[in-house]
Structure 1
Amino acid sequence: MRRILVAGAHRGLIVVSVLAVTDAKPQSSYPSPRPTSPGGLSPYDKDAPIHTVDEFINGFMDELNFGRGVSLARSSRNDQYIALSKAVRQNLQARWMKTLARQYEEQAKSVAYLSAEYLLGRQLDNALLATGMTDVVEEGLDALGLSLDRLRAQETEPGLGNGGLGRLAACFVDSLATMSVPCIGYGIRYEYGIFRQEFEDGWQVEHSDRWLALGNPWEFPHPEHAVTVHFGGSTETYTDDRGRERTRWLPAWDVQGVPYNYMVPGYRNGRVNTLRLWSARATRAFDLRIFNAGDYVEAVRAQTFAENISKVLYPEDSTPQGKELRLQQQYFFVACSLRDQLENVLPKYFDLANLPDRVIFQLNDTHPVIAIPELMRLLVDEKGMEWDDAWAITQKCFAYTCHTLLPEALEVWSVELLGKLLPRHLEIIYKINEIFLDEVRAAYPGDEIKLRRMSIITDHPERSVRMAYLATIAGSKVNGVAALHSELLRDKVLPDFSAYWPDKFTNVTNGITPRRFIRLSNPGLSDLITQTLGDEGWVTDLERLRELEPHADDPAFREKFRQVKAANKQTLAQVLSTRDNITLPTDVMYDVMVKRLHEYKRQTLKLLHIVTLYEQILSGKVAVEDVMPRAFLFGAKAAPGYRIAKEIIALINAVGKTVNNDPQVQGRLTVAFPANYNVTLAERLIPAADLSEQISLAGKEASGTGNMKFALNGALTIGTDDGANVEIRQLVGDDNFFLFGMLEPEVEATIAEGYSPVSVYENNPQLKATIDLIASGHFSDGDRNRFEPVISNLLGEDRFLALADYAAYLEAQQRVEAAYADPDDWSRKAILNVARSGFFSSDRSMVDYIDRIWHTPAITQ
């Protein structure tokens, strides 16, 4: 029995209480977790201040009493969560300091990952996993009468990303830390992240995501290291003290970027890398003279204007003001990040001629590409370098990842806007383009059409800067994110550049971190894998899952696998019941489609399948007892200005409301669309899935990472040969993947021949009956006009050929039903999906980046 003095403040009074705690076990009985590799760490690592239950309780109470200023008896759940988080992070901080010191000592090349998005997920569980503290914390909290499950639920997920791009960035920084590779991730600390989605009468409504409202114990602000970022103004030419003609920027206004550091722990290897997010604040935030004159709004105008830059992720850019704010955001964070590298990360007297040996800036899509002229400006204008020397350095310091095949997603900025906001950068871009076109002109004399095609500057529809072209010209490497995507990137999107620089283009197929997306999110399957393989080494060597293959033929193992899946369904059903008041059956197939709502991803095709099954029952074509029971689960957000995507969401919800309340189909068809799909929900939904819907139009999806998460967690895929589906199918085997639909060349041919969706509709009676049921108002209380935009879009244009692939998709779904009717064989297929998904670890992706692009060595602690 121990007595802990618990002191705190309540309503201005000091409250002291004595808490009696009984130790559950003596200190010596807490075993170290099994190390995953030589040198694997545990809570007993010498750098960690917390090793035992006693030490944890003392650290927790210190944080609660002296950090939060409350006693345990008077503390709120948020007080307890923050105290817990700060106690846990103590075991990372010493390792963080050691990592930074080691990196400075070694001066090894590092990765500066520039990304506008990071979808990190909750941090507490990841920190517990990385430090091996879960058992100690759980028992310590239990001794205090608290629940780890209740406190972990208090954490608000930082919604600092829109989808796959941000989730990928988070996976990559996790893997680099786990592999002991030096890396700083750079981004923006959005005050409001991706919007919080709610449904009103089935329609998406966006609300601000106040993820910082209750505080964030995982960040370390450093206002003393704020960076000043300039905008606007003009440029002038002058002669320097060496008689050289130079250019200087005379900006009109500026803001400050305040860094907030986050720890990125490796998995039990002692390494803690850094994620540095920038928050904007005004350089002159408050004018006391104006305030005293009574103009209170004007007194803080500069503060409001500056803070808008980091206020919200992806402001609506359908207006000129929105476009300008987006460009401000992009320049703001890369300007802060480059300045940070040159002035804070590098040694004081570092020779910038050696910069390519010290850092590689990875451009995660086109958002950070403005960093290229910014580095040139820093080297030429501020460091006094000659242009040719600076350009040679810059070309070795950047690499570019393209994440799209959609032309509209390759950013283009108008010359007018760039000149207004960043006049010096526009001059630098013009000079880069001029020098580049001279090289192209020498290589292809007389080919003016090629010059226009390859120019960074385009005149149509307005004079603009093509950022993907700038990234390609300046980057040492350009990579796609799946084998098919990289092939199409070379052959269709940037063919002139790949012909000019064939060695510059490469592929790195995306990956996901197994720490979050199986070890944390699917503990039942993780435990089964560990028991079967004998240790947890697979968590950092995912190819070891291949050792599961023989067990796919073991009836006892298949039964255990089914039990895990059944338990995951029960967990998801409970989560959705509590979170969304959704009732979900647990003894049916879970058919899941979760991803950003975009027409090319073809949520409409999935919806047509559901309506088809429903229509067949209503019309008597199929007896209800002959329909395989399924729960269809959707998760998606539509961009606020994407009207047709919002219409599709409303239609899905309307179909779900009708189907779920129709007694003719109850128990057979269930449609669930929980609002505000995020990483936290994904960690419960993905492990429960039986069928993964990856049905984008071939040639449109760059890679996808959800497809990898589902396969790794034992869901079978129904999908087109698109993005990373191609590699998934090749690895898991044709027998364990439900392929359908046109291939990319067939898509191109169909469009070229003059695709007519109305003809497909007229010539397929079942498709016609399905669409007619929607058009009749059956799902909209008889209102035929409510979903007319969706119907008109499908029959009038169908830009992504959902109707063209409809018949093939239904046939593939029949194959799904036949396979699911044999639970034992379905389990075998699912186990083989798990066993053959090791390639899709983000650790493997990092090895590919390191070998093909970065050449950054690991540093042992």
Structure 2
Amino acid sequence: MFSSVQSFKSIFLKKLESTYGKSFEETTKQDQYQVLGQMVREYISEYWILTNEKYRFTKAKTVYYLSIEFLLGRLLGNNLLNLGITDVVKKGLKELNINLDEIEEAESDAGLGNGGLGRLAACFLDSLASLELPGHGCGIRYKHGLFEQKFVDGFQVELPEQWLRQGNVWEVRKPDLAVEIPFWGRVQTYHDGERLCFQHLEAETIMAVPYDMPIVGYRNKTVNALRLWSAEPSPLPYHKDVMQYKKETEAVSEILYPDDTHDEGKILRLKQQYFLVAASVRSIIRSYRKKNNNIRDLHEKVSIHINDTHPVLAIPELMRILLDEERLGWEEAWEITTKTISYTNHTTMSEALEKWPIRIFKPLLPRIYMIVEEINERFCRELWKKYEGDWKRIEEMAIIAHDQVKMAHLAIVGSHSVNGVAYLHTEILKHREMNLFYQYEPEKFNNKTNGITHRRWLIKANPELTKLIKEGIGDKWIRQPEQLTELMRLKDDEQFLIRLKDIKQKNKEKLALRILQQTGTKVDLASIFDVQVKRLHAYKRQLLNVLHILYLFNRMKEDRNFKPYPRTFIFGAKASPGYYYAKKIIKLINTVADLVNNDKEVCDYIKVVFLENYRVSLAEEIFPAADVSEQISTASKEASGTGNMKFMMNGAVTLGTMDGANVEIFERIGSENIYIFGLRAEEVMNYYQNGGYHSREYYHYDRRIREVVDGLVNGIVSDSYGHFEPIYDSLLMQNDQYFVLKDFSSYAEAQERIGMDFSNVLEWSKKSLINIANSGYFSSDRTIGEYAKDIWKISTPQNVLQ
């Protein structure tokens, strides 16, 4: 099919015309994308079958990665790259006067995630397949994803994300593997001989129907799967109102993260989480049973990984199967469960660690609640043996306490491995947030610093840079990304540095065109492209960035001689629909953008751009064009960050706090190639513990701060829609929880240094090169290699089928 340009062209044309019943000239870009996608998927199928056969024949131990999000982005270009057929397809299409880039634009980003958590899961799947490791993803097939973001008068408006409008060419529906998932109802106990048995009666069931998507390894004929579950009505529902039942059922896989400010939303979220794990674990056991007789060996052949707390119910669900269906005793079932399951913690923020009220949990999942209650009872008994009389410690460690089920506690107790996602994050978990658990079972805790797939974020997103690197050091780094350090021998090669700068400039031109098309704003290509793209959250401190922009504006208006180095500040971020404060910050950024971009004295030096609907395909254009990467979270709050790694790999220089993986970036490249500012993690935690920070002092004693903060309420950035009192109050009345004012001065100084350093083209290019050269460590191939060896104990099976 793809053996030559000619054979590709003739098959493509024939398939295009037969599929749509119209001549080639009449077909649309969408038609062409659909047909090309079908051809590529058919090409993948052969390898997919062979991979499954290899795993079956070798009985290879397999990891199943359970995650509520998988932020895949577009798959056409990625699959062509990994299959090694991009050139054939590109040439064939060119001869037909079709531009492959335009066909790629016809593909929707898969609406299966929101931020770093989901993108990490997608990178991990790519690395598993590229390292030829047996590993599959399990998630939910959201009909609408999170939402499509639009700005109306500067406010975020959420529209349904219609990513499945044209169908999904990559998925294969498998209704024969559907699973029934029960909710509500009651549990009846009965005796079978000596044994106490449990039966779930009067349950309302939902059908979980799997859709499999191929995950293609890089030029190695390995194709793993991402199994996504769709909620559909059962043929014979136990429900008095059929239409209500249908609506409630479809809601389970309708949208990612339903608003849980009310009980209705909480119930839906918990339903989603159990739906994901119940369908996945049952499917995993069924697959295991086909190849292995003895359920007692499950942990020898299967590893189940839970990505954050959302899939933690995999623990009681696996226990339920082992107890109720496999008829094992508690101790044996518990040993198998804990040896099978491992857990990644993604946050130190207590408000992000899920807790479910018993009043919701118990009636919705009656059998699962009984098992969690028993796990808690037995765990507390074990704690009592070790810490007799220490009621406070036991209360703090309990899984069920204060009428809540604590999911992070269940995750730690029910798994054999608990890992953080950057060195600093893991240390904070061990010594502060999860310290009691660390004292109890220190051997469970380990660090696995996050990574990103260099195939998508460098090779695909930045082909010109890829070409330059190959010319400089060959192509060994493609399969061994740590080999990028070879670039260090070119750090004083002026010609190479100038070419690097030229590539950055071309990428800036491409992004500038996108900005013009999307916002109507013309930006200065010689300016510093200073970028902050990530989820909108108070701790990520987009507010610090925008207050600094306001400070530059004020200073230029006040002092006509002050001319900062020209900058284009670029933002991209979605705020959670129910997160009022974050949405207010979006409005503030857009208001400041209007103020700055329309001021004739200022706009030649500063432009502010907020790109709507930040997503993977947009990120692929942004990262290669960035000069400065803003990683400015309050120290100790960002578990790792992966945007910092994508920027670094594309030659942007980090402006950041010593937080998350910034610490490890700093250690690899040295202080002269990164701009570090602000409080350190231990200082932040000391303030939280002992007090001593008074934001009003910074407001009173620093005129710059006073002017920008007053600007939020005195009319400078207010408009017909009112002022920004909630932000003003958060900084002064609520004592600035994330130390925006405390770090302001240090941040402004770092920005000033950037302005001075950027004007030295060769020196800046050298910083850029040193960042790229040291980014190989942050490839997800390294991370997955560590998970495979240390946690999952999986390896590449011998290919006995060739």
Task: Confirm or deny that 1:518 pairs with 2:458.
Answer: yes
Q: Counterpart of 2:109 in 1: which secondary structure?
A: coil
The Cα of 1:251 is off from its aligned counterpart by 4.4
The corresponding residue for 1:256 is: 207
Q: Is the 8 A contact 2:422 2:447 kept in 1?
A: yes
Map 1:410-809 onto structure 2 (within 5 A). Answer: 410-459=353-402, 463-535=403-475, 537-620=476-559, 623-624=561-562, 626-751=563-688, 752-781=690-719, 785-797=722-734, 798-809=736-747
Taking structure 1 as the reference length, the TM-score comes to 0.91
Provide the C-alpha distance between the structure 2 equivalents of 1:661 and 1:230, rounded to a whole number of angstroms: 58
Q: What do residues 314-358 of structure 1 show as CA deviations (whole Å, max 9, x unaligned)? A: 111111110000000000011111111111354265211000011
The corresponding residue for 1:162 is: 114
Q: Counterpart of 1:73 in 2: which secondary structure?
A: helix
Provide the C-alpha distance between the structure 2 equivalents of 1:415 and 1:546, rounded to a whole number of angstroms: 53
Map 1:88-237 onto structure 2 (within 5 A). Answer: 88-237=40-189
Provide the C-alpha distance between the structure 2 equivalents of 1:582 and 1:60, rounded to a whole number of angstroms: 39
The Cα of 1:834 is off from its aligned counterpart by 0.5
Provide the C-alpha distance between the structure 2 equivalents of 1:513 and 1:334, rounded to a whole number of angstroms: 26
- Structure 2, unmatched stretches of 5+, are none
The Cα of 1:644 is off from its aligned counterpart by 0.7
Return the match for 1:301 from 214, 219, 244.
244
Task: Confirm or deny that 1:825 pairs with 2:776.
Answer: no
Map 1:301-380 onto structure 2 (within 5 A). Answer: 301-347=244-290, 350-380=293-323
Q: What do residues 491-537 of structure 1 show as CA deviations (whole Å, max 9, x unaligned)? A: 111111101111100000000000000101011111100111122x2
Provide the C-alpha distance between the structure 1 equivalents of 2:273 and 2:528, rounded to a whole number of angstroms: 43
Q: Counterpart of 1:105 in 2: which secondary structure?
A: helix
Q: Is the 8 A contact 1:116 1:187 kept in 2?
A: yes
The Cα of 1:310 is off from its aligned counterpart by 0.2
Provide the C-alpha distance between the structure 2 equivalents of 1:140 and 1:319, rounded to a whole number of angstroms: 54
Provide the C-alpha distance between the structure 2 equivalents of 1:203 and 1:742, rounded to a whole number of angstroms: 32
The Cα of 1:788 is off from its aligned counterpart by 1.6
Return the match for 2:228 from 269, 274, 277.
277
Q: What do residues 133-172 of structure 1 show as CA deviations (whole Å, max 9, x unaligned)? A: 1111112112223221221110000121110000000000
- Structure 1, unmatched stretches of 5+, are 1-48, 291-297
The Cα of 1:774 is off from its aligned counterpart by 3.1
Q: Counterpart of 1:335 in 2: which secondary structure?
A: helix
Structure 1 residues 387 and 551 mapped into 2: Cα distance closer, same or farther (>3 Å)? same
Q: Which moved more, 1:609-618 or 1:742-751?
A: 742-751
The Cα of 1:67 is off from its aligned counterpart by 3.7
Provide the C-alpha distance between the structure 2 equivalents of 1:582 and 1:238, rounded to a whole number of angstroms: 71
Q: Which moved more, 1:80-89 or 1:668-677?
A: 80-89
Q: Is the 8 A contact 1:757 1:795 kept in 2?
A: yes
Provide the C-alpha distance between the structure 2 equivalents of 1:725 and 1:772, rounded to a whole number of angstroms: 32
Provide the C-alpha distance between the structure 2 equivalents of 1:534 and 1:117, rounded to a whole number of angstroms: 36
Q: Is the 8 A contact 2:565 2:756 kept in 1?
A: no
Q: Counterpart of 1:347 in 2: which secondary structure?
A: helix
Q: Counterpart of 1:805 in 2: which secondary structure?
A: helix
Return the match for 1:392 from 311, 335, 348.
335
Provide the C-alpha distance between the structure 1 equivalents of 2:499 and 2:266, rounded to a whole number of angstroms: 53
Q: Counterpart of 1:804 in 2: which secondary structure?
A: helix
Q: Is the 8 A contact 1:284 1:302 kept in 2?
A: no
Provide the C-alpha distance between the structure 2 equivalents of 1:251 and 1:477, rounded to a whole number of angstroms: 37
Q: Is the 8 A contact 2:547 2:708 kept in 1?
A: yes
Return the match for 2:219 from 262, 268, 293.
268
Q: Which moved more, 1:661-670 or 1:443-452?
A: 443-452
Provide the C-alpha distance between the structure 1 equivalents of 2:58 and 2:292, rounded to a whole number of angstroms: 16
Q: Flag the structure with larger Rg.
A: 1
Q: Is the 8 A contact 1:376 1:391 kept in 2?
A: yes
Provide the C-alpha distance between the structure 2 equivalents of 1:142 and 1:569, rounded to a whole number of angstroms: 25
Provide the C-alpha distance between the structure 2 equivalents of 1:428 and 1:835, rounded to a whole number of angstroms: 50
Return the match for 2:350 from 404, 407, 423.
407
Q: Is the 8 A contact 2:2 2:89 kept in 1?
A: no
Q: Is the 8 A contact 1:280 1:309 kept in 2?
A: yes
Q: Is the 8 A contact 1:540 1:843 kept in 2?
A: no
The Cα of 1:586 is off from its aligned counterpart by 1.2
The Cα of 1:557 is off from its aligned counterpart by 0.5
Structure 1 residues 266 and 724 mapped into 2: Cα distance closer, same or farther (>3 Å)? same
Structure 1 residues 55 and 808 mapped into 2: Cα distance closer, same or farther (>3 Å)? same
Q: Which moved more, 1:741-750 or 1:561-570?
A: 741-750
Provide the C-alpha distance between the structure 1 equivalents of 2:235 and 2:248, rounded to a whole number of angstroms: 11
Q: Counterpart of 2:491 in 1: which secondary structure?
A: helix
Q: Counterpart of 2:381 in 1: which secondary structure?
A: helix
Q: Which moved more, 1:543-552 or 1:67-76?
A: 67-76
Q: Is the 8 A contact 1:651 1:787 kept in 2?
A: yes
Q: Counterpart of 2:219 in 1: which secondary structure?
A: coil
Q: Give the partner amino acid of 2:214.
A: M
Provide the C-alpha distance between the structure 1 equivalents of 2:564 and 2:413, rounded to a whole number of angstroms: 56
Q: Counterpart of 2:574 in 1: which secondary structure?
A: coil
The Cα of 1:243 is off from its aligned counterpart by 3.0
Structure 1 residues 675 and 285 mapped into 2: Cα distance closer, same or farther (>3 Å)? farther
Q: Is the 8 A contact 1:159 1:211 kept in 2?
A: yes
Return the match for 2:29 from 71, 77, 83.
77
Q: Which moved more, 1:608-617 or 1:84-93?
A: 84-93
**Percent identity (aligned):** 43
Task: Confirm or deny that 1:851 pairs with 2:794.
Answer: no
Q: Counterpart of 1:417 in 2: which secondary structure?
A: helix
Q: Give the partner amino acid of 1:710.
A: F
The Cα of 1:828 is off from its aligned counterpart by 0.5
Q: Is the 8 A contact 2:59 2:291 kept in 1?
A: no
Provide the C-alpha distance between the structure 1 equivalents of 2:97 and 2:777, rounded to a whole number of angstroms: 43
Structure 1 residues 214 and 580 mapped into 2: Cα distance closer, same or farther (>3 Å)? farther
Provide the C-alpha distance between the structure 2 equivalents of 1:858 and 1:348, rounded to a whole number of angstroms: 18
Q: Counterpart of 1:613 in 2: which secondary structure?
A: helix
Q: Counterpart of 1:273 in 2: which secondary structure?
A: strand
The Cα of 1:666 is off from its aligned counterpart by 2.1
Q: Counterpart of 1:119 in 2: which secondary structure?
A: coil
Provide the C-alpha distance between the structure 2 equivalents of 1:538 and 1:58, rounded to a whole number of angstroms: 36
Provide the C-alpha distance between the structure 2 equivalents of 1:345 and 1:395, rounded to a whole number of angstroms: 17
Q: What do residues 771-809 of structure 1 show as CA deviations (whole Å, max 9, x unaligned)? A: 2233221222487x4212111111122110100111111
The corresponding residue for 1:53 is: 5
Q: Give the partner amino acid of 1:254.
A: T
Superposed CA RMSD in Å reads 1.6
Q: Counterpart of 1:246 in 2: which secondary structure?
A: strand
Q: Is the 8 A contact 1:285 1:302 kept in 2?
A: no
Q: Is the 8 A contact 1:141 1:147 kept in 2?
A: yes
Provide the C-alpha distance between the structure 2 equivalents of 1:299 and 1:583, rounded to a whole number of angstroms: 55
Q: Is the 8 A contact 2:289 2:295 kept in 1?
A: no
Structure 1 residues 346 and 74 mapped into 2: Cα distance closer, same or farther (>3 Å)? farther
The Cα of 1:218 is off from its aligned counterpart by 0.7
Q: What do residues 449-481 of structure 1 show as CA deviations (whole Å, max 9, x unaligned)? A: 11111110111xxx0110100110011100000
Q: Which moved more, 1:691-700 or 1:250-259?
A: 250-259
Provide the C-alpha distance between the structure 1 equivalents of 2:273 and 2:644, rounded to a whole number of angstroms: 29
The corresponding residue for 1:40 is: none
Provide the C-alpha distance between the structure 2 equivalents of 1:717 and 1:582, rounded to a whole number of angstroms: 25
Return the match for 2:198 from 243, 247, 251.
247
Provide the C-alpha distance between the structure 2 equivalents of 1:581 and 1:63, rounded to a whole number of angstroms: 39
Q: What do residues 77-128 of structure 1 show as CA deviations (whole Å, max 9, x unaligned)? A: 2111100111122221101110001001111111100000000010000011
Structure 1 residues 62 and 216 mapped into 2: Cα distance closer, same or farther (>3 Å)? farther
